[in-house]
Amino acid sequence: MIEVSRSAVIPAPAQRAWALVRDFNAMPEWNATIRSSTIEDGPADRIGCRRILRFDDGSTWTHQLTDLSDAGMTIAYAIVGIPPATKLPMRNYHAVIRIEPIDGDRCRMTWRATLETDQEDAVRERAGAVFQAGFDGLKRRLGV
């Protein structure tokens, strides 16, 4: 089992960042690696719903919402569908995104995933790139 974790300071109030991150279907709005998202078994805030994501490399992955806490500003998901011909095989992928207030004008976003893989370096590199694209895109979307 490996862990990939990244965090970034977002120069915006935590509630503004959380409003975007908590929407399980909104990832294409703030992460450039995601081209589209479709919810199955929704709505998008129902534990157990799934989002079908099409990535920038053309692959399609399925995530299932496993936890959502407005009080804790956390959203958690598991990957439940992986493309059959993926270049980055992984198993037992679970991720949590957390927004934490720093002060009234800034927050910290932490994205942490645990998973099993036979290609640790490549998976760390791709996950880190997806996470960083999320941080950068959230800042752009929030206009900061």
| Tens digit of each residue's pLDDT (9 = 90 or more) over 28-76 | 999 999 999 999 999 999 999 999 999 888 889 999 999 999 999 999 9
How far is it, in rounded angstroms, from Cα 9 to Cα 14?
10
Confidence check: pLDDT of 90 > 90: no
Looking at residues 132-140, what average pLDDT do you find?
96
* Residue 6 and residue 13 in contact, taking contact as beta carbons nearer than 8 Å: no
At position 118, the amino acid (one-letter code) is D
How far is it, in rounded angstroms, from Cα 112 to Cα 136?
16
Looking at residues 103-113, what average pLDDT do you find?
97
Give the chain's mean pLDDT: 94
* Residue 85 and residue 106 in contact, taking contact as beta carbons nearer than 8 Å: no
SS3 54: strand
pLDDT for residue 57: 86
Confidence check: pLDDT of 83 > 80: no
Q: 7 or 56: whose pLDDT is higher?
A: 7
Residue span of the structural domain in which 131 resides: 2-141
Which among 89, 91, 71, 69 has a CA at the least distance from the CA of 80?
A: 91
Which two structure tokens, joined as six digits, stand for 108?
């910290």
What pTM does this model have?
0.93
Domains in the chain, number? 1
Which two structure tokens, joined as six digits, stand for 104?
């009234």
Bridge partners of 4?
113
Please report, for the domain that includes residue 124, its CATH number: 3.30.530.20
Cis peptide before 43 (omega within 30 of 0): yes
% of the chain residues with pLDDT over 70: 100
pLDDT for residue 84: 75
Confidence check: pLDDT of 14 > 80: yes
